[in-house]
Every structure is written in C-alpha cells, then in structure tokens.
A and B are shown apart, each in its own frame.
Chain A
C-alpha cells in the first residue's frame, strides 16, 4: 500500500521559534496533500490543502502567515509553524492523494503517522 511519512515524529521547541514538519509520499506521486491538526481528545480538523506547484488553500480561521505550507514536489510538502506558541501545541497529520489514481472517481487519501508538537 501507499506510504506517507512525516518528520519529525515529535518535536519540542521554545515559544517564538519556528518549526518545520515534512510530509513525504514514499512510493507514489501526490498531486495534493492535506494538513490536519488534532488537539488532545478531539477530532481532526483540516487546516489546508496543498497542491504541487501552487499556493495552498487554507480553511477558514487558519492563519496562512503562521502556518506556511510549501508543496515543492510531487512527493514532499512542508508545514512551517512560525513563531510557535504554546497554543500551537498539537498533533499535526498530513495526508496525500495518489496521482496515479486521479481522474473521475475518488482518490484515496493516505495518512502519515503524525507529528506531535509541544511548544514550551
């Protein structure tokens, strides 16, 4: 099956620093990647949709200047949390759609293992 990796799996940082999270599709090309945030004991909330070579589309209420998304290639998308604060502490999950399955019917999303961010 398709594999999506995330790096790092966890990170602890000081308030005010920036943190970059990578999402990679290991054995397929992903035209679209999604970034979700999950607070403890809560559901996954879509933050943004990232298409290769174009600007990300952010969901309402998500600050695009704070959560920078770059989808530079068909296998890599990055999420940078700029000037992180304790309220940004969360579990960040990415998913990727398989380009090879695109066209007409739904493409399955493959989820990464998540990155746990703790801001002190």
Chain B
C-alpha cells in the first residue's frame, strides 16, 4: 500500500520567515514519483514539482526548495522568505510503478498561513 503523511495540519508564519513543510511517504515500489501541489483558496491545484525515486538531488526554484531523502522516506518542501501569496494548502503526493504511475496518492495537506 502507498501512503503519504503530512503531519503538520496548519502552519502560521509571519512574512519573510522561512518555513518547511514535511512529507513522509510509504511505498513498496522501487520506482515512484513524488509531487508537491499548491491549492490556493480558489481551489485549483497548482503543480509545483515532480521528483523520481532515482534522483535524490535537492532542487531549488526561486524561493522554493525541496529536500528528498530516500533513507528517511521524506520529501520536504521549504519556502524561503515567505510571502502572503504563499498562503494556501500544500499537498504532497506519490505515484508508484504498481499502478503504472497512473494513480496519485495525496497526503492530507498542510495549510500555510502567512501574515503580513
């Protein structure tokens, strides 16, 4: 079975603070993909990143960075110098080889509130 755990239900920070959103996953697949999505109040899911299980290199995109560690089955997401526009619910998701990479299993999401 596949499972994604986002233990942080809600995080509140003040603008310009750095914040890390945790994601821990479980899968028996040797090949899988991990994702992060942002869901602003409008509801539409915004794709942020996809990472395959063979690529443990950390990635940075502007103020966003991701830390993938297979040893701890974690794929954490850090926002540097947070802004009010970052306020949203963030979902971590997993797609494994056993479903032909068709099915996305989502975590429960972390609601990020960035105040001015």
Contact = CB atoms under 8 A, between A and B. Distances in A.
Interface of A: 32, 34, 41-46, 49, 91, 93, 95, 97, 106-114, 116
Contacts of B103: 34, 46, 49
Interface stretch (B13-21, B57-65, B105-113): B105-113
Contacts of B104: 34, 44, 46, 95, 109
Contact of A116 (B43, B50, B52, B105): B43
Contacts of B102: 32, 34, 49, 97
B88 to A, nearest CB: 13
26 contacts: A32-B102, A34-B102, A34-B103, A34-B104, A42-B108, A42-B109, A43-B91, A43-B107, A43-B108, A44-B91, A44-B104, A44-B106, A46-B103, A46-B104, A46-B105, A91-B43, A93-B43, A106-B33, A106-B52, A106-B101, A107-B101, A108-B50, A111-B45, A111-B47, A113-B42, A114-B44
B95 interface: yes
A97 B111 CA distance: 27
A111 B50 contact: no
Nearest to A51: B102
B44 A106 contact: no
Interface in B71-115: 91, 95, 101-109, 111
A120 B42 CA distance: 22
Contacts of A106: 33, 50, 52, 95, 101
A113 B101 contact: no
Contacts of A44: 45, 91, 104, 106
Interface in B22-79: 33, 37, 42-45, 47, 50, 52
Nearest to A115: B43
A34 B45 CA distance: 14
B106 A43 contact: yes
Contacts of B44: 111-114
Nearest to A6: B44
A75 B104 CA distance: 21
Most buried by B among A93, A110, A111: A111
Contacts of B42: 113
A91 B47 CA distance: 18
